[in-house]
Structure 1
């Protein structure tokens, strides 16, 4: 049992912080209040926030140069360790990590956040998940049976693709409702038909899974949201029709990857449009091991649009709600998981969260500084 004393405690639901002690009992928060008894950890002058949740990361991205398959897997080890050390305690991987990563984390072979996996990006032939490239033809960056074939053509094949992912251990189903940004801008985007998307989402539900949908364009956002995707990723080019369709979903903007591009302002306008319409926002970094952009960068960009309190909510309680984990984490309340981050200072400034991070607790255990 440990009592964290002297800090202010941030409530992401209200945006307020109050002076309180927090007692940890094993992996759970036992009590929040003043004057709690137990072995004490001095957190004076600090702010306790819930462990951060990244709803869109790629911890095991394929490398661009030809290397043995093990290189992609081994590179993920320091990536995961670094994320946890920076206070990111839960990650939804948006393709690349397989079920072996989760096993290694549970077994203690490697250190990192809790991981939810989607394995591959499901799409029709010529879409986001198709690695065919002229003049080479089919190029599978993985060649790994633990990451099954993501391609489908027709509603029945879409259902079969979902079943392949579920069989291989996917927690979420990732759908390519649009192509990559370059295809969208070039007008060569190949999107699934509406009946394919509807079948994909329906089959995912039958298998007890939710769908996250990659969608840059308005048309792709509308199709994916109407099909029932739980979250829409990127949403770079939203309009009123796309925002209206998003009323029943979460929006994960992932501002980081194109924050310095010619589309950055359009992307920020899309986020503002969604926020003004009351769309639920969850934070995701679109992290790949190269370049090293993670959720702490995304929060700085989100805060410039939403404000600091709303950005932190997007990466804690709202992210947990999207992932159906809000009865377990995302807030600092009795009974919830003891995932916490202690920041230096008591303000909500997210400009340099790594520089402010004083301590991290994951599942009740303090994360080693060496992590």
Structure 2
């Protein structure tokens, strides 16, 4: 899904000089300058000249970070006006950008209006791709029915359509509702939440429903991300053609084999302190050893919010720092079909850049190391 170009304005020429530049494809760093011209990188190399010089000595330049699984407008289970969900997203988006996260894929909650507000400059934040709701069969992940109360829709918002389906034709109709409302991606619950598994209430879509959903998404030019904790759900979603599998807490050899043609977005953060944490880390190791492409996603939903900087620390503990950073830059860009626009520091790509203090790749405390962020060639926070 190609994100729209920014409106054209006066050119901004900035020379980032004297730093090491990280190449996520190789994991290497080398000394080079980066010249930004407007919203694009004009040149990368040693000894460049240019106006607007910024001294980056003693620092490390990274591509803007990409979080493939966020919830910037997640519902609160409390009686607040509908506008509170959207207004809470404003400081969340601002904070993400300040921490070097320049592109995000929202995995349900944000609507097309949030994208519009960002595009118009009413609020500041990363570039945003939205999926609106998480589709599922009745009783599945997207069903907000509650035993004491019956149907409880915490949104009640026509910009976030009904996500439920039963049968392949209804799955196609659900996809069409999301596309009509402005979804960039289609989210499906291929399994329920962990709680549903513990309680024995997990309801999954059938293989025929998944196949119809993915096919309809493709007909509309959209890709599918699939929430899937169990190995069986991962296999079903991956075989149906989902482009990315989210969570994958309980992978086995069959699930890893099925992931050969998909991306794995582990989202370690939400359950990093739970009883399943080590099982989840084992799943990441199993996938990495098999060569499954891994993209980073924080699952920014629980409060207080975690974000990609937390997820990178957890990924690095399993994969190493360079691989974790690759998962949040070039590999994430590939998953989102944006590899020709961002994810690396190279001429012609989007001028999304993060400057860190120090030249090592240690991601233990990225927020504490951030010296500056450029988004579309404009320094974040600069007047």
Instruction: Give the Cα separation in 1 of the matches to 2:195 and 2:232.
Output: 16
Hey, which bits of structure 1, 4+ residues long, moved more than 6 A? none
| TM-fit CA distance, 1:369 | 6.5
CA contact (8 A) 2:270 2:302 kept: no
> Who is 1:32 aligned against?
44
Instruction: Give the Cα separation in 2 of the matches to 1:244 and 1:236.
Output: 15
Instruction: Give the Cα separation in 2 of the matches to 1:185 and 1:245.
Output: 25
> Who is 1:295 aligned against?
308
| TM-fit CA distance, 1:277 | 0.6
CA contact (8 A) 1:47 1:344 kept: yes
> Who is 2:197 aligned against?
184
Q: Which secondary structure state, in structure 1, belongs to the residue aligned with residue 118 of structure 2?
A: helix
Instruction: Give the Cα separation in 2 of the matches to 1:352 and 1:289.
Output: 20
Instruction: Give the Cα separation in 1 of the matches to 2:203 and 2:77.
Output: 23
> Who is 1:161 aligned against?
174
2:162 to 149, 154, 160: 149
CA contact (8 A) 1:58 1:289 kept: no
CA contact (8 A) 2:246 2:264 kept: yes
Tell me if 1:210 matches 2:227.
Answer: no
Q: Which secondary structure state, in structure 1, belongs to the residue aligned with residue 145 of structure 2?
A: coil
Instruction: Give the Cα separation in 1 of the matches to 2:371 and 2:382.
Output: 9
| CA RMSD in angstroms, aligned pairs only | 0.8
Query: C-alpha offsets along residues 56-92 of structure 1, whole Å, 9 cap, x if unaligned?
Result: 0000000121100011110000000000000000000
Tell me if 1:220 matches 2:233.
Answer: yes
Instruction: Give the Cα separation in 2 of the matches to 1:44 and 1:36.
Output: 14
> Who is 1:116 aligned against?
129
| TM-fit CA distance, 1:289 | 6.4
2:34 to 22, 25, 33: 22
| TM-fit CA distance, 1:231 | 0.1
Instruction: Give the Cα separation in 1 of the matches to 2:369 and 2:35.
Output: 22
> Who is 2:58 aligned against?
45
Instruction: Give the Cα separation in 1 of the matches to 2:95 and 2:277.
Output: 27
Query: C-alpha offsets along residues 242-299 of structure 1, whole Å, 9 cap, x if unaligned?
Result: 0000000000000000000000000000000001111000000000262220000000
> Who is 1:308 aligned against?
321
Tell me if 1:5 matches 2:47.
Answer: no
Instruction: Give the Cα separation in 1 of the matches to 2:266 and 2:364.
Output: 18
Query: C-alpha offsets along residues 97-151 of structure 1, whole Å, 9 cap, x if unaligned?
Result: 0000000000000000000000000000000000000110000000000000000
Q: Number of paired residues?
A: 370
CA contact (8 A) 1:184 1:217 kept: no
CA contact (8 A) 1:23 1:32 kept: yes
Instruction: Give the Cα separation in 2 of the matches to 1:289 and 1:33.
Output: 42
Instruction: Give the Cα separation in 1 of the matches to 2:144 and 2:76.
Output: 14
CA contact (8 A) 1:129 1:176 kept: yes
Q: Which secondary structure state, in structure 2, belongs to the residue aligned with residue 235 of structure 1?
A: strand
Query: C-alpha offsets along residues 34-70 of structure 1, whole Å, 9 cap, x if unaligned?
Result: 1211121000000000000000000000012110001
| TM-fit CA distance, 1:226 | 0.3
Instruction: Give the Cα separation in 2 of the matches to 1:197 and 1:256.
Output: 27
Tell me if 1:235 matches 2:248.
Answer: yes
Tell me if 1:281 matches 2:294.
Answer: yes
Instruction: Give the Cα separation in 2 of the matches to 1:306 and 1:355.
Output: 22
> Who is 1:92 aligned against?
105
> Who is 2:140 aligned against?
127
> Who is 1:249 aligned against?
262
Query: C-alpha offsets along residues 173-199 of structure 1, whole Å, 9 cap, x if unaligned?
Result: 000000011112222100000000000
Unaligned segments of structure 2, at least 5 residues: 1-12
Instruction: Give the Cα separation in 2 of the matches to 1:86 and 1:354.
Output: 6
Instruction: Give the Cα separation in 2 of the matches to 1:64 and 1:187.
Output: 23
> Who is 2:5 aligned against?
none
Unaligned segments of structure 1, at least 5 residues: none
> Who is 1:322 aligned against?
335
